Amino acid sequence: MTVLLNVSDLRKSYGALKVTDSVDLQVEEGMLHALIGPNGAGKTTLISQLSGQLRPDSGHVVYDGKDVTHLSMPQRVRRGLARSFQITSILPSLSLLENVAVAAQARDGSSFRFLRAAAAEAALNDEAMRCLAEVGLSAAPHRLAGSVSHGEKRQLEIAIALATRPRMLLLDEPLAGTGPQESEILVEVMQRLKGRVTMLLIEHDMDAVFALADRISVLVYGRVAAEGSPEHIRTDPKVRAAYLGEEEGAA
């Protein structure tokens, strides 16, 4: 298997607090690699460094064989590395179709001065519709994004990321705040994308993680404490003590 993302000795501190502490991580192409850990483990800070939103103090992020540590988020997106956010980031006054078309437009370096014109262009319109269909939102593409349910906003956010034509998706808690039916739909979306797009998934829903992941890394206090197949992680005593046992006990 080809290693698409290779993270080595990545560090980020705020004063005396080490949020990511010498993180090493490899994600193989075509895999859905889950990153789990308790609250405060540094997961979102890590994914922010991988996406280019946050600059690490030291270490390296190598994507597709090239060091992208110092590249901006837009530069990484143009190379095929896209992120969806823990908190939905959409344009609520635009339609579903327009939101996705704008992302496709921005991917090609077009200006954001003509937001509403984006969905009027045939090529952008067709591509946006394909992305909406991928996530199950093509039935009513002209609904305003601000009017749809929380789960549909999550679906839309993945469609927006897909519009950038990613080779790899960084998914930051896509199931956060969703109900059982919404979660089921989102899991189905990720299942459909598996094998076609490499994914690094941060998620607290352990049922979803074990249903989806090919490989799992466990982050505790900013460090990768364990890594392996879902079966290995599920039965690892250190993992259960550090994280899974805590989750079961809190039920």
Residues 174 and 144: beta-carbon distance below 8 Å: no
Please tell me the pTM assigned to this model. 0.88
Q: How many Å apart are CA 104 and CA 110, to the nearest integer?
A: 9
* β-bridge partners, 6: 26, 62
Phi, psi for 64 (deg, rounded to 5)? 55, 40
Task: Write the pLDDT tens digit of every residue in 92-133.
Answer: 999 999 999 988 887 765 544 445 455 557 788 899 999 999
Q: How many Å apart are CA 214 and CA 230, to the nearest integer?
A: 7
Residue 251 is predicted with a pLDDT of: 35
3-state secondary structure of 214: coil
Residue 182 is predicted with a pLDDT of: 96
Residue 178, pLDDT above cutoff 50: yes
For the segment 166-183, the average pLDDT, to the nearest whole number, is: 94
Across all residues in the chain, what is the average pLDDT?
Answer: 89
Map out the domains of the chain with their CATH numbers: 1-80+166-251 (3.40.50.300), 89-165 (no CATH)
Task: Write the pLDDT tens digit of every residue in 184-228.
Answer: 999 999 999 999 999 999 999 999 999 999 999 999 889 999 999
Contacts of 1 (CB under 8 A, 6+ apart): 28, 29, 30, 31
Residue 8 is predicted with a pLDDT of: 97
3-state secondary structure of 224: strand
Which H or E run contains 132? Answer: helix 122-134
Residue 144 is predicted with a pLDDT of: 97
Q: Which of 25, 62, 3, 22 has its CA nearest to residue 218?
A: 25
Q: How many Å apart are CA 96 and CA 111, to the nearest integer?
A: 19
